[in-house]
Each structure stands twice: as structure tokens, then as C-alpha cells.
């Protein structure tokens, strides 16, 4: 897209200005291609956000985290006392010039006082706020103090031994590490959230002991079953994780998915109240109280007298006062369904590997970390080897001197000029300049027998050390052994019990108590091809005009029903999402309506195929497949105890779905193949199944490359000669249509 170039007359110079004050071209609009402008201006910004700000790298840190922690390391804060946070934030400006407030906020999240991380890297003193509360903000940096936590030593263990690359800071006045040579997979131990341009990252935390054990197992056996050692995510705030193996397998394999976490509560019988002491990591105290209060005000929850925040120095606490006779467990089950007391953590393991953003599962992340750590250890061993070789080289020269000290003393004494001492020693003993320089600096007091014996022993020890280090460099197995030993040490020093309890989905008692009756009134439901939904009352429908639809969209289902009906939305990924007509507000034809994939939380790219409206779970779902098969599934197979429950495997994926219909009782359908043949099918001829994913039975016989093309309910009288299209046995090929067979033209609904 380009803007039009306008031509304007040159403006006359203002009075009092010289005639040459006019700027040529001023006021003119230059033509620009918008795609070029985006590519030249916006893309560099987007890449900068992705590469240098929002996405963590394989060491588990974003650049801002790394700059704060490295600054604290250079300030000597691994040892000694705490210092003012303002000083740390100011010093970090040398590496991160985005403002001391931003640096302080970064440090706050890394601190123990904020409780945002499973293993904080910063010890804190003062008010650092709380991650689980939006109202409890941290104090100003001039009031708080901080230092590095003991576990931070694992970030810098090899940093002075060339284990990682160093790069210039923003103004090239000092160096900073490109990555930390962290001795354990911090990328999985502490949770990380980042929102970039066009992509995001959301990594949950896992228990340190379990991560180290799993990494050790993978080092020994690349095919190790990760779920056997890495049980489930472990969140800083605790809670109860609802364990579903299939959900965890998806996260571990692909890096995407979600897990449900519910709050932990106790019932205080003496005061007739519920005390919530642990909440999901993804929510806050204020969000929970607001939602519960909303339900109470709306009359949907009548068992609560009061809810308040009683969090203090002893920790998180939300107190819910109950009315007399209330069952606390039943109430909490109801609140789990309708409030953030139970919430989902959406995983998106997006990590920068070699400067490239990659979404990986747990195995992929650990494999990349192992490769990264092996390179760190290899570089550290090479650094130690170089130092040992240098030391050995010096001692080899000293060894030659010590074998004939009198000769060395004579050379030094007989040399007239100081500058000639080193060359003469080189000539006299056949050593190089570096060795001669070292010998020449030896103090006279060291020329004794004890010193000579020790130095000769050092030569022997260094020769063994060099040989050992050289062998280590050549052996990947020895490097793996080093990493295993380090992981075992880290787990022993810093490991802690799980904070998040694991509860199995099969052990959870769902809320089955009858809900408050919803207002029941007549309404008409409209569902479009693109997935938009409208609920309109008869009064509003009579007063409305044409439907507002998205361009290219059409209404494919119109159902006259009432407000207390269940709605089942079948997606193109063999899933079904359950809702209620009452969940949607009454609307008008002049609005677009609710977009079902967004409303019900479909996965990215998932779209709707069919809407079933039912009062009871009776009747059947019919699925017509491209290969000519038809599946007849009892509606009871879709009954669930909770609202908006997603069911996977709602129908078979063995063949593309052509059409789906809900029928309260058996009826007739007209099937048309790509060859033009039509079959009049009565669904009573198909045996129903209770298994949702059944592949169905062959109904339409297809030859060659022909497939089932369309399916429509049969309207009695629309075919003059119905018998031509009926069959006594299945499967059947159907019949080619003839003009005299039709009374009323069949159309797609």
C-alpha cells in the first residue's frame, strides 16, 4: 500500500527571513511502500524483543536477569552482608541502562521475599511484595536490602575459567557473560514468563531433586522415561496439581499444554469458616475474592456470609465465613468450578537455543542443556589444562636449574648487565625465555634443599594432572560423570520436598449438587459457518432486521428452543466443548455474536463443525465420513458432570468428517457421493455405539476415487420415487438421480 504524492507550491519565505531559508521539498509527502517500512523499522524491533528481552535462553535466564545477577556477583554479594537495593539497581545500570526502576523490579522477582520462584537467587530484607497479591507492592529500593542466595554460587562456579563467552556491554566499557555456566537445569527449576512480538514463553517450575534425578538418568540412558522421575510441575505457591498423565505427556513431548492447579484449604469448625492457605500460581488473592464476591452478589452462591484477606507475616490466608449448616467440601467443589480457586497453567516452553527461538518438550530442553553444560565443562577442563601446562612448563625449566644451582648462580654473578641475565640462562641451560624469566625471579632464600624437593614433586604431580585433564577432554563419558557428580551435589545441598501436592483426577469428587435453576424462556439460537453464535428472544427477533455477519459467513443452524438447554460444540479436531444456552447473553441480529472458539477456549487454529442443542442426553449423534461410513453414537456418551468440559476423542479421526447431526430419534438422510449417486438412509438400520471414537459402519458403497460428498436430512415428499434410493441391505451404492424422481429440490441446510 502506498500513499499518494501531493504536489504543493513552494511556500513564500516569511517576512524577516532570508530568501534561502526555504527548505526544498518541505511539506511534500514522499511515497513509501508500507511493507518495506515494516521490514526496515518494525522487524529489527521485533527481533530485538525476541532475542534480547523476552525469551529465556538455555541457562534459564533472560538478559535482564543475567545482568542483575552478574552485577551482584561482581559486587562480591555471594559473601558478606546485605547492601541497599538502590545501590544494586544503580550498579546494574552499567549493563542494563533501562532505568534503575526496571532493574529493581527484575531483582524483586528473583528475591526470596517476593515468593515468585521455587529457588530464589536473591536473599532479601524488607518488603519485597508478594507474587500472589496485586495489592502488596514492594517498598522503594532505598528501604530494602539484598545479596545473592547460596544457590546463586552454582551460576558462577566456572565463570572465571572461560566456561562461557563474554561480550561487550552496551557501550563497550566492560564485559558481561553471554550465558551463565549454571551447574543444574535452571530453565526447568524456576518458572519463566515472557511476551515477545508474535511469540511468548511460559515455562513452569519443577522440583529441583526431580529435575536433577531426571537429568542424571538421561545422561546414563537417552531413552529414559521422563515421567517416571519428573512427576509433575512444582509451583512456588504450592497448591494441588490435578494429575492427568495424558496432559503431562503432551507437555513433556511438545512443550505445550496446560495443567490444572487447585487451592489448598482447611475447615475451621470452631469458627465455621474455610481458610485457604495455598492458591494457584496463575491467580491472586484479589482476583479470587472479587470473583467469589461477584457470585455471592449475583445469588449464585448463597452459603457464604463473608470473605476477607487475612494474609500476614505467617503467610497467605483467605478466610470464607459460612452460613450455618453449609457443607464446606461441597461449597469448595462449587467454587473450584466457577472461581480462580482452581486455575490452569498454560505451558509454552519457548527457549532461545543458539539465538533461535524453539518450542521444545522437557526431553528436548534437557538434551539441549546437557549439550550446553558439556561444552561448559569441556572449556573449563581445557582452561585448567592450559594453566597446568603453563605451570609445568615453568617447573620444567626450574628443574633444569635446580640440578645445577651453582652454575646458575655463576651465570647470574658473572653477567655484567641485568638485561643479559635471561639470555645467558637460556643459553646455559637450554631453556626458553618464559622459563628463564621465571627462574630469574626466584628469591635467594628459596635456593635450599626443601624448596628443590617440593618443586621436583610438583613436576611429578603436574604431569599426572595434565595427563588426567587430557584424558578427560578426550572422553565424553568422563565429562558426563563430572556433570552427574555436580548434579548430585546440587540436589543434596539445595533440594527440598515438593510444595505442590499431586492429586489424581479420578480421586476428585466433582460438584454434583443441583445448580440454581436458570431462567427458562423461549429463544432462537443461530450458529454460523465461521463459528459465531447468537441467542435472540422472540420479541427481539420480531423487531430486528437482517443478521450482521462476517463477510463470507452464513447461518448454518437455526434452532428454536429455550434458555435451559445444553449446547455441545464439535470441533474439527475431534473434540467437543460443552456449554449452556444460559452462559450466553441475549443479543440482537445487529451484532456479530459470540465467537465460540474464543468463548470456550479452543486451541489455536481449532474451529467448529456442528452445534448440538439438547435438553437431556438422549438420542444419538450421527457422524458421516468421507469414506462412506456412518457412526451412530449414543448421546449419553457425552454426558459430563461439569459445565464447559472439553472432551477429546468426540468422534473418529480415521476419515475426514463430512457432516454431523444430532437426532432425538431415528430419521432419514439423503447421502450424495461425488459420482452423483444418492442413497436414502434410515438411521434405524445402524446399530448405536457407546464409544465416541467408533469408526462407524460402511453405509455407502464407493468405487474408484469417489467419496461421500454431502448429507442432508430428508424432507418427506421431496423425492417422488423414494423407493429407487432406499435399500434393504447395507452397504449400498445408491441410485443415479433422474428428473422425474424429484418433487421438491433438495438443498443443503
d(CA 451, CA 449): 5
Contact 296, 278 (CB under 8 A): no
The sheet that has 555-562: what strands, in order across it? 555-562, 522-528, 532-536, 594-595
d(CA 427, CA 436): 10
Residue 698 per-residue DSSP state: E
β-strands 501-504, 240-243 pairing: parallel
C-alpha cell of residue 75: 559486587
What angle do helix axes 362-402 and 476-494 make, rounded to 10 degrees? 110
Contact 65, 108 (CB under 8 A): no
d(CA 701, CA 731): 6
Contact 353, 58 (CB under 8 A): yes
C-alpha cell of residue 195: 511476551
Contact 119, 189 (CB under 8 A): yes
* Among 744, 728, 739, 743, residue whose Cα is nearest residue 679: 728
**H or E, element range at 168:** strand 166-168
d(CA 146, CA 86): 10
C-alpha cell of residue 221: 540412558
* Among 736, 628, 629, 604, residue whose Cα is nearest residue 689: 629
Q: What distances in angstroms separate CA 279 from CA 237, 267, 343, one per listed residue?
A: 7, 16, 9
94 contacts: CB under 8 Å, gap ≥ 6: 71, 169, 173, 174
**Could you please report the per-residue DSSP string of 98-120?**
S-HHHHHHHHHHTBTTTT-SSS-
Contact 178, 166 (CB under 8 A): yes
* Among 749, 665, 743, 734, residue whose Cα is nearest residue 700: 734
d(CA 205, CA 190): 5
Per DSSP, the three-state class of 669 is strand
Contact 711, 624 (CB under 8 A): yes
* Among 376, 351, 378, residue whose Cα is nearest residue 362: 351
| Rounded (10°) CA dihedral 171, 177, 178, 184 | -160
C-alpha cell of residue 613: 442443542
CA–chain centroid gap for 289, Å, is 27
* Residues with a known catalytic role: 143
Which residues lie across from 535 on neighbouring strands? 525
CA 38, 40, 45, 46 torsion-angle sign: positive
What residue ranges in 186-317 does DSSP mark as E strands?
A: 192-195, 200-203, 240-243, 256-262, 264-268, 273-278, 304-309
Which residues lie across from 83 on neighbouring strands? 146
d(CA 697, CA 666): 16
* Among 377, 383, 391, 386, residue whose Cα is nearest residue 475: 377
d(CA 243, CA 639): 22
Amino acid at each position: 500500500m502506498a500513499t499518494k504524492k501531493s504536489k504543493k507550491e513552494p511556500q513564500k519565505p516569511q517576512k524577516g527571513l532570508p530568501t534561502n531559508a526555504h527548505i526544498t521539498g518541505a511539506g511534500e509527502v514522499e511515497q513509501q511502500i508500507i511493507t518495506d517500512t515494516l521490514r526496515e523499522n518494525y522487524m529489527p524491533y521485533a527481533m530485538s524483543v525476541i532475542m534480547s528481552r523476552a525469551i529465556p535462553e538455555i541457562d534459564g535466564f533472560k538478559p535482564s536477569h543475567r545482568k542483575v545477577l552478574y552485577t551482584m556477583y561482581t559486587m562480591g554479594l555471594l559473601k558478606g552482608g546485605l547492601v541497599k537495593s538502590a545501590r544494586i539497581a544503580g550498579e546494574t545500570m552499567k549493563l542494563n541502562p533501562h532505568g534503575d526502576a526496571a532493574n529493581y523490579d527484575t531483582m524483586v522477582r528473583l528475591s526470596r521475599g517476593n515468593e515468585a520462584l521455587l529457588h530464589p537467587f536473591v536473599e532479601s530484607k524488607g518488603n519485597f511484595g508478594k507474587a500472589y497479591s496485586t495489592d502488596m507492592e514492594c517498598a522503594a529500593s532505598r528501604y530494602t536490602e539484598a545479596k545473592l542466595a547460596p544457590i546463586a554460587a552454582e551460576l558462577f562456579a566456572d565463570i572465571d575459567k572461560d566456561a562461557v563467552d563474554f561480550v561487550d556491554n552496551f557501550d563497550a566499557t566492560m564485559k558481561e557473560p553471554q550465558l551463565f555456566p549454571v551447574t543444574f537445569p535452571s530453565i526447568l527449576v524456576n518458572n519463566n514468563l515472557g511476551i515477545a512480538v508474535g511469540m511468548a514463553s511460559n515455562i513452569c517450575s519443577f522440583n529441583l531433586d526431580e529435575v536433577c534425578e531426571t537429568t542424571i538418568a538421561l545422561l546414563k540412558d537417552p531413552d529414559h522415561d521422563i515421567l517416571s522421575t519428573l512427576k509433575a510441575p512444582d509451583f512456588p505457591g504450592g497448591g494441588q496439581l490435578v494429575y492427568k498423565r495424558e496432559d503431562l505427556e503432551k507437555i513433556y513431548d511438545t512443550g505445550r499444554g496446560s495443567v490444572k492447579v487447585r487451592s489448598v484449604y482447611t475447615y475451621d469448625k470452631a469458627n465455621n469458616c474455610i481458610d485457604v492457605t495455598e492458591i494457584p500460581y496463575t491467580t491472586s488473592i484479589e482476583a479470587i475474592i472479587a470473583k467469589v464476591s461477584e457470585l455471592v452478589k449475583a445469588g449464585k452462591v448463597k452459603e457464604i456470609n463473608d470473605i476477607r484477606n487475612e494474609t500476614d507475616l505467617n503467610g497467605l490466608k483467605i478466610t470464607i465465613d459460612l452460613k450455618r449448616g453449609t457443607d464446606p467440601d461441597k461449597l469448595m467443589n462449587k467454587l473450584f468450578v466457577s472461581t480462580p480457586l482452581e486455575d490452569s497453567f498454560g505451558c509454552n516452553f519457548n527457549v532461545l537455543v543458539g539465538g533461535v527461538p524453539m518450542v521444545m518438550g522437557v526431553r528436548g530442553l534437557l538434551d539441549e542443556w546437557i549439550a550446553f553444560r558439556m561444552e561448559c565443562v569441556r572449556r573449563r577442563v581445557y582452561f585448567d589444562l592450559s594453566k597446568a601446562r603453563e605451570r609445568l612448563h615453568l617447573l620444567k625449566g626450574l628443574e633444569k636449574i635446580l640440578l645445577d644451582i651453582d652454575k646458575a648462580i655463576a651465570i647470574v654473578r658473572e653477567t655484567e648487565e641485568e638485561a643479559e641475565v635471561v639470555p645467558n640462562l637460556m643459553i646455559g641451560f637450554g631453556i626458553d625465555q618464559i622459563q628463564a624469566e621465571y627462574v630469574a625471579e626466584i628469591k635467594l632464600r628459596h635456593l635450599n634443599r626443601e624448596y628443590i624437593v617440593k618443586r621436583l614433586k610438583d613436576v611429578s604431580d603436574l604431569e599426572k594432572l595434565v595427563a588426567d585433564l587430557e584424558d578427560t577432554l578426550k572422553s565424553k563419558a568422563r565429562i558426563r560423570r563430572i556433570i552427574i557428580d555436580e548434579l548430585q551435589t546440587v540436589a543434596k545441598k539445595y533440594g527440598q520436598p515438593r510444595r505442590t501436592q499431586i492429586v489424581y483426577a479420578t480421586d476428585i469428587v466433582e460438584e454434583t449438587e443441583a445448580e440454581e435453576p436458570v431462567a427458562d424462556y423461549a429463544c432462537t439460537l443461530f450458529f454460523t459457518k465461521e463459528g459465531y453464535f447468537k441467542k435472540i428472544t422472540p420479541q427481539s427477533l420480531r423487531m430486528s432486521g437482517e443478521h450482521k455477519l462476517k463477510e463470507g459467513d452464513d447461518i448454518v443452524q437455526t434452532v428454536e428452543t429455550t434458555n435451559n438447554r445444553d449446547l455441545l460444540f464439535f470441533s474439527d479436531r475431534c473434540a467437543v466443548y460443552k456449554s449452556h444456552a444460559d452462559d450466553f447473553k441475549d443479543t440482537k441480529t445487529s451484532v456479530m455474536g459470540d465467537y465460540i472458539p474464543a468463548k470456550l477456549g479452543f486451541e489455536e487454529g481449532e474451529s467448529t463443525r456442528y452445534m448440538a442443542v439438547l435438553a437431556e442426553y438422549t438420542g444419538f449423534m450421527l457422524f458421516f465420513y468421507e469414506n462412506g461410513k456412518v457412526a451412530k453414537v449414543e448421546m449419553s456418551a457425552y454426558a459430563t458432570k461439569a459445565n464447559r468440559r472439553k472432551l477429546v476423542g468426540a468422534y473418529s479421526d480415521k476419515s475426514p468428517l463430512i457432516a454431523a447431526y444430532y437426532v432425538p430419534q431415528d430419521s432419514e438422510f439423503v447421502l450424495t457421493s461425488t459420482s452423483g449417486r444418492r442413497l436414502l438412509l434410515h438411521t434405524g438400520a445402524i446399530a448405536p455405539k457407546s464409544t465416541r471414537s467408533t469408526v462407524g459402519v460402511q453405509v455407502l458403497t464407493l468405487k474408484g476415487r469417489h467419496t461421500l460428498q454431502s448429507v442432508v436430512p430428508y424432507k418427506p415428499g421431496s423425492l417422488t420415487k423414494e423407493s429407487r434410493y432406499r435399500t434393504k441391505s447395507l452397504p449400498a451404492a445408491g441410485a443415479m438421480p433422474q428428473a422425474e424422481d424429484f418433487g421438491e429440490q433438495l438443498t443443503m441446510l
